[in-house]
Structure 1
Amino acid sequence: MQSPQLFHKILGLILLLLPCHAQGRAAPVFPVPGFRAEGRLSQAYLPGFPSVAGNEMEDVFQLKDRILKLEGVLRLQEKITTSGGKIFATSGKTADFHTTVKMCQEAGGCIAAPRNADENAAILHFVKKFNRYAYLGIKEALIPGKFQFLSGAELSYTNWYSHEPSGKGEEECVEMYTDGTWNDKKCNQNRLVVCQF
């Protein structure tokens, strides 16, 4: 297993070379002291960085290409949407709020929580597709009628339905309607599971 330091050094090198790869150009020889390139990517050396063989770099690029292709397939199947660097996904299953939070965490993400209109629209795509309301990663704070993200951060964006929230301590969770507006709701109802990564 590679050390975390080696991983971060390789990641830094990838970030240097990635813009060229994305544009389909060969990696340039950088004007950085101590950098050598023999062939296309056969050997790269930066002081403090281990030597990275071309095959390893090629493997990284192939992995990135494979991930991009898989994302494309998932988009075509309407299993994911993206907004602002986030990926939103659903399996089409429904669950209560606490199970939704757990399912998203087990998948390596968290329950979808829109921070702007574009992210709200990305989640709404699934709500409309499955014609099911979805829980959002927003809960009522200790002050009845005041809502916040699960992290405790204040909401910087809201899209409440007219006269909502109205539960005032009775409805602690938030669901998204099929028009994209929000409603406060009890947490025990089954709603569409939408996660963000």
Structure 2
Amino acid sequence: MMLSPQLHKILAVAFFLLPFCAQGKPAGLLSRFPFKPFFGGGLDEGQIPDFTPPAATENGDIIHQLEYRISRLEGVLLLNKMITEFRGKIFATNGKRADFDATVEKCREAGGSIATPRNPGENDAILYFVKYFNTYAYLGIKQSLIPGKFQLLNGTPLSYTNWYSNEPSGQGEEECVEMYTDGTWNDKRCNNNRLIVCQF
């Protein structure tokens, strides 16, 4: 069975967020998180409208059933402010904080990468979490071999920036980039704990 790339993204996001939601109290976002309906359990009245999924009578119907369940999961994650989307790219947070290297690794393990805005719309999608949690987040941007010059993690030059006034100012001492709560960027040392935001 082949799932669409969008469904693969949603599944990766779901597995990234599953441990976070399974704790019972997801970092103050809400008192409970309705994961059960996506994995065979029940659903409390009033949380999500009860749409009857298509019956899985043939192999092809199994894909439709998965698509249905994944679309419901996506709706719940959007509702609970755990994912945002811009032009097909999905951004997700688990509400936890980590240093730069741990953030990169956590996102990689989940099948994504650290959030890296390439345009104002993507910047706003990441900013949504930064504002919601009222904390800064690392971006997938690092200083190049030239002090004060920054690039994407794969070495590609930046085609979009949103630096705060007079930034970057670390003069080679601050190799990572964080997003402020107004959406602007600042160069920062990589060993601080910042909100984990991944992209898929």
Aligned residues: 149
Q: Structure 1 length normalisation: TM-score?
A: 0.73
> Which of structures 1 and 2 has the bigger CA Rg?
1
Please give the root-mean-square deviation of Cα atoms over the aligned residues, in Å: 1.6
SS of equivalent to 2:170 = coil
2:155 is aligned with 1:132: no
What aligned pairs does 1:105-124 form with structure 2 within 5 A after superposition? 105-124=108-127
2:66 to 60, 63, 66: 63
Structure 2 counterpart of 1:163, from 163, 166, 179:
166
Cα deviation, residue 153, structure 1: 1.1
Runs of 4 or more above 2 Å deviation:
none
User: Does 2:155 correspond to 1:152?
Assistant: yes
* Aligned with 2:87 (options 84, 88, 102): 84
Higher relative contact order (CA 8 A, sep 6+): 2
Which of 81, 97, 109 aligns to 1:94? It is 97
Q: How far apart are the structure 2 equivalents of 1:168 and 1:64?
A: 49
1:67, distance to aligned residue in structure 2 (A): 0.8
For residue 101 of structure 1, give the secondary structure of its aligned residue in structure 2: helix
Unaligned ranges ≥5, structure 1? 1-6, 12-53
Distance in 1 (CA, whole Å) between partners of 2:137 and 2:90 is 16
Partner of 1:173: 176
- Give the TM-score taking structure 2 as reference length: 0.71
Output one character per residue of 1:169-190: Cα deviation in whole Å (capped at 9) or x when no partner.
1000000000000000000011
What fraction of aligned residue pairs are identical, expressed as a percent? 67
Amino acid at match of 2:103: T
1:189 maps to 2:192: yes
Shift of 1:81: 0.4
Structure 1 residue 106: Cα displacement: 1.0
Alignment of 1:8-19 (within 5 A): none
Where 1:90 maps in the other structure, the secondary structure is: strand
